Amino acid sequence: MPDTPFLPTRPPRPTLETAEFWDACAQGRLLVPRCDDCHEYIWYPRLFCPHCASPRVTYTEVRGTGTVYSFTIMRKGNGPYKEFAPYVIAYVELDEGVRLMTNIVGVLIDDVHVGMPVKVVFDEAIPRFTVA
Ligand SMILES: [Zn+2]
């Protein structure tokens, strides 16, 4: 099986909730919102805490390491992804506990498995993950 490829990337379209996240990604830093009151990490980014409803949420830099929580192998890509199949779509659980939908890249597809340690890599400011 081939290496999981890097994939075509469309530029992000930041919103009020995500602008700080995308700005950090462009600098190679992974930020996750964290509640100032209950201290829970929050994913996806939003302007309030889904755990305690606090509006006091602050982006916090995280290590960018975690494990593959779940994944699927896309063997027939569509549109701009068609020529890149097969590739991996995964949920990565960060060490901080939140789960991001992402791609696993730079790894032999047959080597990808649940529980695999991964670390973030920035592909044109898009956070994707590779084996740690
Ligand atoms: Zn909270």
What's the pLDDT tens digit per position in 103-112? 999 999 999 9
Neighbours of 119 (CB within 10 A): 14
The reported pLDDT for the residue numbered 84 is 82
Average pLDDT score over the chain:
91
- Residue 105's pLDDT is 93
Instruction: Report how far residue 99's alpha carbon sits from residue 96's, in angstroms, rounded to the nearest whole number.
Output: 9
Three-class SS of residue 105?
Answer: coil
Residue 66 has pLDDT above 90, yes or no: yes
Residue 67, Cβ neighbours under 10 Å: how many? 17
> Same domain for 27 and 77?
no
Report CA(29)–ligand 1 centroid distance (Å). 23
Whole-number Å distance, alpha carbon 73 to ligand 1 midpoint, is 35
- Other Cβ atoms closer than 10 A to 117: 12
> Which residue range(s) make up the domain with 37?
12-62
Residues 71 and 128 in one domain: yes
For residue 57, the CA-to-ligand 1 centroid distance in Å is: 8
Same domain assignment for residues 123 and 67: yes
pLDDT at 6: 65
Question: How large is the average pLDDT for residues 9-20?
Answer: 86
The CA 109 to ligand 1 mean position distance, Å, reads 38
pLDDT at 8: 72
The predicted model scores a pTM of 0.89
Residues 92 and 112 occupy one common structural domain: yes
